Structure 1
Amino acid sequence: MRRLASLLAISAALQLTFAPLAAQAETIALGMPTPRPAVTSPASKGMVAAANPLAVEAGLRVLRDGGSAVDAAVAIQAVLGLVEPQSSGLGGGAFLVFYDAKTGKVTAYDGREKAPSGAGPDMFLGADGKPLSFVTALLSGRSTGVPGAVAMLSMAQKEHGKVAWNTLFKDAEKLADDGFVVSPRLAGMINSTRAPQPSQPDAVKYFTKPDGTRYQAGDVLKNPAYAETVRKIAAEGPSALLEGPIAQAIVDRLHEGDLPSSITLEDLKTYKPRSGDALCRPWKVYTVCVPNPQSSGLAVIQALRMLEHTDIGKRGPTDPVAWTLLAQAERVMYADRDRYVGDPDFVTVPVDGLLDPQYVAERAKLITTTAGAPPPFGLPKGAPKVGVDKTQEPGGTTHFVVVDPQGNVVSMTTTVESLFGNGRMVGGFFLNNQLTDFSFSPKEKDGAPAANAIAAGKRPRSSMAPIIVLDKKGKFLAAVGSPGGNAILSYNLKAMVGVFYWGLNMQQAVSLPNVVARGETYSGDADLFGPEMLAALNARGVNIKVGQIEGSGLQGVIVRPGAMLEGGADPRREGVAKGL
């Protein structure tokens, strides 16, 4: 993740917001990214917030042409898969939460990848019975799950689309044929030596110019194979990807190498996305809606409800106690999430127990103003006996929000897992490495499998947690989400706290420093916190080291009085929020 180049004193707006708190608590100035103004637009016109301006423009075009929020989501994903291939794509998966303005209903769509029918619990174990190294597993054919993002978008678009499916890929097709300007972030990933994928044969071939040098920021990159793929998807729907020549190419590519996949054409053809009522729970005077497990959205709800038992709302981001409370809530949240969340078709996830008010209140007692030992996992009602989780989850993901002129809303997080997935390409797009989101160690010494253990046909646990918030009347109020691997939950929680506890506008909230606390490990945006805040946090046991950064990519939209939409895009990435 690129280091933030410009750090300024906290904005005047933040200082004014928290001036009354100075007498109540120690306040410390924060460094902040270069301030962006809050983006506003009349709700009757709509808004798009996404991680690349080209994707934002594609979504806005669809809205201008009369398309719905879901229609725009299809176009946005198609463009992101081209211009931000390190994060998401046609070969990956996604979760989408949709608010229907007419009915007030919130629906969750699950396009998470599935393990092939030939997958087994020892898939990521070596000949010695020990887990493979993460890089070895990542680069192997075994790391790829059956992709689900396109099938999921097709399902949602059939139910909530207003324009023809085959009109939604024009921007992606044109950009792939004519070429697009390589952004600084993509150039940094192309030329990265920190991850193994850019040095893999398919990535080297794609990202090397005719003169033998790598593409740099400002160069124009064409991808005719991607253009042909989206033309086929536009004409045939998801079957263009999951059946026929492209499906065969996926199977063939994944069967190559020392650790080949067991994936078959039948695995691809029989993939089905899921849909159903979103997981919605009351919080303060609001209702928070997220996807159901195997998404980890329930953990964010749990953390928000635990924080109701603290005084974080009387503090603000210039108060080190506030950040300590946030960090300790995260530790409790992760302790429970890591233990219990997995694919509900294979393991009992005690959703009601984890969110039970009495259980939440008990867990909230572990949130202290000084850090101690890592909190243990809890024992909610309905908890199954499951083993220790050893999942590793890097963060190659993206998020976007769409509000259409009719008030329908999409909050969608989408991914190929790691940087450029597993580095293998077919049809101009990268294949995912989602199966490395499983716990590599299938059983612990007591014989109990982890909730996120590998199994045939199982979907790996995901930290992706797109959020929609409803007001006390059940109307859309806000949407937020982020990429970031297992840190997604911390990023989303920070943004929600910033808006709903600390009274920030959406742009200020997503721009705040991040703190990620899980088990014994703390990480954060050291430069943004600044030396005084770091010293204050370290004194409380929240040990963030100088030089650390957190690469969130938050996008958010909220409805303000006067039916105005207010958007925010994370300055750590290249995204924008823009209204019609």
Structure 2
Amino acid sequence: MSPRILIVLTAFFFLTSPALALDMPEGESGLTPKPLVKAKEHMIVAAHPLAAEAGLEMLRKGGAAIDAGIAAQMVLTLVEPQSSGIGGGAFMLYWDAAAQTLTSYDGRETAPAGATPELFLDADGEPLPRDEAMHSGLSVGVPGVLAALKLVHDEYGKLPWEELFQPAIKLARAGFSVSPRLATVLRETDPNSFAPSARAYFFDENDRPRQTGYILENPELADTFESIARNGPDAFYEGAIAEDIAKTVQNDPRKPGTLSTDDLAHYNAEPRRPVCMPYRGRSVCGAGPPSSGAVAVSQVLGIVEPFDLRATPLNPEAVHLIVEAERLAFADRARYLADPGFVPVPVTGLLDKDYLAGRRALIDPARAQKTVTAGTPPVVPPSAFGRDHTKEKGGTSQVSVVDRWGEAFSLTTSIESAFGARTMVRGFLLNNQLTDFSFLPKDEDGTAIANRVEPGKRPRSSMDPTIIFGPDGALEYVLGSPGGPAIILFNLKTIFALIDWNLDVAEAAALVNFGGTAHGVFLETDARWDWLAGALTAKGHDVKRMPMTSGLHVIAVTPDGLEGGADPRREGVALGD
């Protein structure tokens, strides 16, 4: 049984300041939202219609939120293989409405026992090229998503484990139609980066990628699912499947890794304490270390709460304050966030109200900081906190569910970059999550980096499944997004849109993406948002325009029922009754 974590809405120090009252310049505030979906009984939002339909099927059969989430994840393994699957990992939040408890689950991958801090260095001690490291056996960590899902299901599931795999098994045998998004990602991907079996699955004999509408069958994955459905995750972590995973990694012709059957057999998913931050009378909760998501989100909320951001959505003064707070949080994240089993992560100090007040004082409301650096939170233990060298990619998916009992499940699930290590075993892709470690184990001063590679360690993540509780402690929102480190920015944008700017969940998901990191300020490329780029540039920001393809999936619990919103940037849908 997992420990139950009681969510207590605590008072939070609140400073008053003048409202930001400037009007938003002429311009668009976001993409055209997908229709707002309403339901009375239950709802799921997932990244592919077939995955959402599988989840809804379980809800209609009387399943709990976790049952729907498992069914959706199995289908996503098949139909959205570029983003997540049983060869990867996940972070999860589960809200037990009857007991009024929230539990976080860590299904993050672990480094093999044979991994060393020099894993991604060449013979001269220099970092390997990222593509060379990512698309090889070196990058594969022990997958964790199945173990974590089973842990949640054992406590909260209402339908039999085996039943949850049936929609995915049927689809894998009959075949599914390649979606426009999958076809687009394949067109943009070098077939030579795939190991042979994966290459043959995603490309034809002339290396032409599978096109939109192509019926892609995966009987090997159906067989794998049937084995796991009958025998539980042990069928994955021990026996023939585990042997094939280890053999594939150790014999990767691109660069072999050390992952072994012992590594798989000894994997454990971990229940962890959620990280929660009061904001505007609510409690915003997410996954703690080794995820950096909730800590960074909480820092930003704590820094900006004294300011009134509510004048209009995207008013430049509010956006300036938000991105300045994000830049500070990302600087702290880079230095202090890592696997708490290996590094004494100072979460309490990073969220200390006096520390956040000191970080807030660094923000000039009129002008961007030229540089940002990590702060020194109280009670930082002497340990490995060198300047970080981690670079991250994002191949991730989000499933949000609320069931008829008011239980909620937020699942952020990933295989890291698109198609993971681009290695296929028994119909599923293996992750390349170990490249979320710092390639360099020490900084320029010789200080060990918190997020360096170590055997058995979990790489730092940005995944941040989020659940928000209202002023009365009742469930209010379930949300999350893919996006690598930008997950933090996407979730924050959505939180401000919902709480400060009073947008509905569909409007919040569609709102223009923006954010700040220690490396600068980012804004979506569409020319409709040039006005915002200009306003931020005038404040001294170096604004980088780039695609920011979030996949936000949001559910609101309202007095009139459930409302679901799916990000228009991807293929996700909200379904409910």
* 1:189 Cα deviation after fit: 1.3
**Cα contact 2:82–2:395 (8 A) shared by 1:** yes
Unaligned runs of 5+ in 2: 1-18
Give the RMSD, CA atoms, in angstroms.
Answer: 1.8
Partners of 1:292 and 1:298 within 8 A in 2 = yes
Judged with a 3 Å threshold, the aligned counterparts in structure 2 of structure 1 residues 452 and 25 are, in CA distance, closer, same or farther, namely: same
Three-state SS of the structure 2 residue aligned to 1:398 is: strand
State whether residues 195 and 424 of structure 2, in contact with CA within 8 Å, keep that contact through their aligned partners in structure 1: no
- Specify the alignment match of 2:39 in structure 1: 41
Per-residue deviation at 1:70?
A: 0.5
Match of 2:421 in 1: 422
Instruction: Report how far residue 200 of structure 1 moved.
Output: 4.1
Letter in 1 for 2:565: G
Partner in structure 1 of residue 567 of structure 2: 570
Deviation of residue 211 (structure 1)?
7.9
User: What's the offset of the Cα at 1:520?
Assistant: 3.2
Distance 1:35 1:184 in 2: 19
Aligned partner of 1:7 in structure 2 is none
2:210 to 188, 195, 215: 215
Decide whether the 8 Å contact of 1:97 with 1:106 is kept in 2. yes
- Contact 1:251–1:265 at 8 Å: present in 2 too? yes
Deviations 1:390-436 (A, max 9, x none): 11110100111000011000011000001100100001000000000
Q: Which residue of 1 aligns with 2:167?
A: 171
How far is the alpha carbon of 1:374 from its aligned partner?
2.4
The 3-state SS of whatever aligns with 2:112 is coil
Task: Kindly provide the CA deviation profile for residues 543-570 of structure 1, in whole angstroms up to 9, marking residues without a partner as x.
Answer: 3345x210111111111233x1111111
Quote the offset at 1:78 in angstroms: 0.2
- Which of 161-170 and 516-525 deviates more? 516-525
Q: How does 1:135-154 map to 2 (within 5 A)?
A: 135-154=131-150
CA distance in 2: counterparts of 1:503 and 1:84, whole angstroms: 32
TM-score normalised to the size of structure 2? 0.93
* Aligned 8 A contact 1:101 1:408 in 2: yes
Q: Structure 2 CA distance, aligned partners of 1:196 and 1:367?
A: 46
Cα shift at 1:209: 4.1
The reply to whether residue 442 of structure 1 matches residue 441 of structure 2 is yes
Deviation at residue 364 of structure 1 after TM alignment = 1.6
Q: How many angstroms does 1:531 deviate by? A: 2.5
Change in 2 beyond 3 A, CA 1:519/1:197? farther
The answer for unaligned runs of 5 or more in structure 1 is 1-20
The 8 Å contact of residues 98 and 410 in structure 1, kept in 2 or not, is answered as yes
Q: Which residue of 1 is the match for residue 517 of structure 2?
A: 518
Cα distance in structure 2, aligned partners of 1:22 and 1:293? 34
**Aligned 8 A contact 1:341 1:451 in 2:** yes
Q: Say whether the 8 Å CA contact 2:398–2:480 is kept in structure 1.
A: yes
Which one of 546, 553, 577 corresponds to residue 555 of structure 1? 553
1:327–1:542: 8 Å Cα contact kept in structure 2? no
- Residue by residue, what CA displacement relative to the aligned partner does 1:148-184 show, whole Å, maximum 9, x if unpaired? 0001101110010001100001110011000001100
Moved more, 400-409 or 297-306: 297-306
Deviation at 1:541, TM superposition (A): 2.5
Q: Does 1:307 align with 2:307?
A: no
What is the CA–CA distance in structure 1 between the aligned matches of 2:141 and 2:572, rounded to whole Å? 28
Alignment of 1:320 with 2:320, yes or no, is: no
Listed one character per residue, the Cα deviations across residues 11-66 of structure 1 (whole Å, up to 9, x for unaligned) are xxxxxxxxxx9974343321532332322111xx1110111111000000000011
Q: Percent identical across equivalent pairs?
A: 45
Instruction: Kindly provide the amino acid, as one letter, of the partner of residue 205 in structure 1.
Output: A
Return the offset for 1:282. Answer: 2.3
Q: Flag the 1:164–1:24 CA change in 2: closer, same or farther, 3 A.
A: same
Query: Aligned residue for 2:48?
Result: 52
Q: How far 1:277 moved relative to its partner?
A: 3.4
Residue pairs, 1:134-283, within 5 angstroms: 134-193=130-189, 199-209=194-204, 213-256=208-251, 257=253, 259-283=255-279
| Number of residue pairs matched by the alignment | 554
Query: Alpha-carbon deviation of 1:304?
Result: 1.0
Cα distance, 1:153–1:192 mapped onto 2, change above 3 Å:
same
| Structure 2 residue aligned with 1:533 | 532
Find the residue that maps to 1:151 and give its secondary structure: helix
Structure-2 separation of matches of 1:544 and 1:204: 38
Structure 1 residues 348-497: aligned runs within 5 Å = 348-369=344-365, 370-384=367-381, 385=383, 386-497=385-496
Provide closer, same or farther for how the CA distance between residues 390 and 30 of structure 1 changes in structure 2, counting only shifts above 3 A. Answer: same
With structure 1 as the length reference, what TM-score do the two structures score?
A: 0.92
**Secondary structure of residue in 1 paired with 2:272:** strand
1:95-145 C-alpha deviation (Å, 9 max, x unpaired):
010000101100001100000111111111100011111111112211000
2:119 is the alignment partner of 1:123: yes
Cα distance in 1 for residues equivalent to 2:198 and 2:536? 41
